[in-house]
Amino acid sequence: MEYNFSEIEKKWQAYWASHGTFRADNISDKPKYYVLDMFPYPSGAGLHVGHPLGYIASDIYSRYKRQKGFNVLHPMGYDAFGLPAEQYAIQTGKHPADTTEENISRYRKQLDRIGFSYDWSREVRTCDPSYYKWTQWAFLQMFDHWYDKDSDRALPISTLAGIFEKSGNSRVNAACGAVETFSASQWNSFDEKKKREILMQYRIAYQGETSVNWCPQLGTVLANDEVKEGYSVRGGFPVEQKKMKQWLLRVSAYAERLLSDLEELDWTDSLKEMQRNWIGKSCGAEMVFKVSNGTEEHDMTIFTTRADTVFGVTFMVLAPESEWVDILTTPQQRAQVDDYLSMVKKKTERERIAETKKITGVFSGSYAINPISGNKIPVWISEYVLSGYGTGAIMAVPAHDSRDYAFARHFNLPIIPLIEGCDVSESSFDAKEGIMCNSGFLNGMPVSEAIPAAIEKIEQMGIGRRKVNYRLRDAIFSRQRYWGEPFPVYFKDGEAYAMPESVLPLELPEIDNFLPTETGEPPLARAKSWAYDGYPIETSTMPGFAGSSAYYLRYMDPGNGDALVSRQADEYWRSVDLYIGGTEHATGHLIYSRFWNKFLYDLGYVCEKEPFRKLINQGMIQGRSNFVYRIKNTNRFVSCGLKDKYDTTEIHVDVNIVENDRLDLEAFRKWRPEFETAEFELENGEYICGWAVEKMSKSMYNVVNPDMICDKYGADTLRLYEMFLGPLEQSKPWDTKGIDGVARFLKKYWRLHFSKDGKFSVNEDAPSPEELKVLHRLIGKVQSDIESFSFNTSVSAFMIAVNEFTDMHTSKRAVLEPLAILISSYAPHIAEELWGMMGHDESIAYAEFPVYEEKYTVEDSFEYPVSFNGKMRFKIRLSKSLSKEEIEKQVMEDPNFGRFIGESKVKKIIVVPSKIINIVF
Partner RNA sequence: GCUCAGGUGGUGGAAUAGGUAGACACGCAGGACUUAAAAUCCUGUGGGCAGAAAUGUCCGUACGGGUUCGAUUCCCGUCCCGAGCACCA
**CA-based nearest residue to 913, from 874, 889, 879:** 879
Residue with Cβ nearer RNA (193 or 737): 737
CB of 447 to RNA, least distance (A): 13
Report the C-alpha gap between 323 and 340 in whole angstroms: 15
Residue with Cβ nearer RNA (566 or 790): 790
CB of 806 to RNA, least distance (A): 8
Q: What is the Cα 287 distance to its own chain's centre? A: 37
The one-letter code for the residue type at 729 is E
Helix (H) or strand (E) holding 7: helix 5-19
Report the C-alpha gap between 121 and 862 in whole angstroms: 54
Report the C-alpha gap between 804 and 367 in whole angstroms: 85
Report the C-alpha gap between 416 and 413 in whole angstroms: 10
CB of 342 to RNA, least distance (A): 17
CB of 765 to RNA, least distance (A): 23
679 Cβ contact list (under 8 Å, min separation 6): 635, 636, 637
CB of 479 to RNA, least distance (A): 20
Residue with Cβ nearer RNA (255 or 337): 255
Residue with Cβ nearer RNA (670 or 747): 747
CB of 265 to RNA, least distance (A): 16
Residue with Cβ nearer RNA (103 or 783): 783
CB of 509 to RNA, least distance (A): 36
In order, the DSSP letters of 696-744 are --GGGT----HHHHHHHT-HHHHHHHHHHTS-TTS-EE--GGGHHHHHH
In order, the DSSP letters of 830-896 are HHHHHHHHTT--S-GGGSPPPPP-GGGT--SEEEEEEEETTEEEEEEEEETT--HHHHHHHHHHSHH
Beta bridge partners of 468: 283
In order, the DSSP letters of 176-224 are -S------HHHHHHS-HHHHHHHHHTTBSEEEEEEEEEEETTTTEEE-G
**CA-based nearest residue to 428, from 399, 469, 465, 406:** 399
Residue with Cβ nearer RNA (235 or 865): 865
Residue with Cβ nearer RNA (22 or 592): 592
Residue with Cβ nearer RNA (389 or 497): 389
Residue with Cβ nearer RNA (180 or 854): 854
The answer to whether the CB of 894 falls within 8 A of the CB of 864 is no
Q: Specify the 3-state DSSP secondary structure of 616.
A: strand
Question: How many other CB atoms are there within 10 angstroms of residue 160's CB atom?
Answer: 21
Task: Report the chain's terminal Cα–Cα distance, integer Å.
Answer: 62
CB of 724 to RNA, least distance (A): 7
For 384-408, the three-class secondary structure string (H helix, E strand, C coil) is CCCCCCCCCEEEECHHHCHHHHHHH
CB of 834 to RNA, least distance (A): 18
Q: Specify the 3-state DSSP secondary structure of 362.
A: strand
Residue with Cβ nearer RNA (4 or 869): 869
Residue with Cβ nearer RNA (182 or 862): 862
Residue with Cβ nearer RNA (193 or 358): 358
Q: Specify the 3-state DSSP secondary structure of 81.
A: coil
The answer to whether the CB of 8 falls within 8 A of the CB of 47 is no
Report the C-alpha gap between 906 and 898 in whole angstroms: 11
CB of 400 to RNA, least distance (A): 9
Instruction: Please report the beta strands in 600-673, taking only residues with DSSP state E, as ranges in sequence order.
Output: 612-617, 621-631, 636-638, 648-653, 658-659, 662-663
Give the burial class of 769: count Cβ atoms within 10 A of its Cβ; 0-12 exposed, 13-18 middle, 19 or more buried.
exposed
CB of 825 to RNA, least distance (A): 18
CB of 434 to RNA, least distance (A): 17
Report the C-alpha gap between 286 and 609 in whole angstroms: 32
**CA-based nearest residue to 917, from 64, 904, 901:** 901
The answer to whether the CB of 822 falls within 8 A of the CB of 850 is yes
CB of 419 to RNA, least distance (A): 16
Residue with Cβ nearer RNA (327 or 511): 327
CB of 547 to RNA, least distance (A): 22
| Angle between helix 813-824 and 769-787 (nearest 10) | 10
Report the C-alpha gap between 571 and 573 in whole angstroms: 6
CB of 389 to RNA, least distance (A): 4
Residue with Cβ nearer RNA (127 or 834): 834
CB of 395 to RNA, least distance (A): 7
Residue with Cβ nearer RNA (20 or 870): 870
Residue with Cβ nearer RNA (162 or 738): 738
Report the C-alpha gap between 892 and 134 in whole angstroms: 78
